[in-house]
Amino acid sequence: MTNREQSWESLMRAANRGDQRAYASLLGAIAPVVRGIVRARGAALGFEQCEDIVQDVLLTIHLKRQTWREDQPLRPWLYAVTRHKVIDAFRARGNRVDLPVEDFAEVLPAPTADDPLEARDMERVIGQLDPRAAAIVRAIGIDGDSVAQTGDRLGMTEGAVRVALHRAFKRLAQLRERMIE
């Protein structure tokens, strides 16, 4: 047992008997050691999370310090509390991995912008349909009108609008196939 460990145990015994100065000295002595353990075991959690764990460990030591048996060394008890708090943090996180986006900003693809020619190309293809079919495709597919609204405006039944829309989509698919060839 090292002098440091003997000192910690003496301070803990005194703290458990109500000596506030001994308790403050103990916390000051063990905090850097706890921080080192947490950072070594919990590096994947990130700096802020590690500091939260250190605070949690110190709070647990405060709340559970009476559970330490004075005839036993303090260091294994302290290390066990710290280890369990790190494990609890990993469990709370689950399978999620948090990585700062700044590390990947240069390799992430740029957001896709709207194709400036898309509307022109779409209008050109729809323009190859007969006028009634083109009006139905524009109303339902582009403007978002319902089948009933489109039928009322064009003087058609809902069934006739659906049939005409289906035929228009079939014709558009044929036109697309020709464009790809």
Structure confidence by residue, pLDDT tens digits, 30-76: 999 999 999 988 888 888 888 999 999 999 999 998 898 988 899 99
DSSP string, 102-170: GGTTTTSPPPPPPPTTHHHHHHHHHTTS-HHHHHHHIIIIIS---HHHHHHHHT--HHHHHHHHHHHHH
Q: Do 88 and 8 share a domain, yes or no?
A: yes
Residue 86 falls inside a structural domain: yes
The CATH number of residue 78's host domain is 1.10.1740.10
What average pLDDT does range 158-166 have in this prediction?
A: 94
Domain assignment of residue 69, given as a range: 3-97
Q: Note the pLDDT of residue 103.
A: 74
- Who contacts 33 (Cβ-Cβ below 8 Å, separation ≥6)? 78
Confidence bin at 97 (pLDDT 50/70/90):
low
Q: Nearest to residue 118, comparing CAs of 128, 126, 110, 130?
A: 126
> What is the pLDDT, as a whole number, of residue 151?
94
Structure-block tokens of residue 17: 């008997």
- Domain match, 144 and 93 both: no
Whether 9 and 92 map to the same domain: the answer is: yes
Looking at residue 35, its pLDDT comes to 93
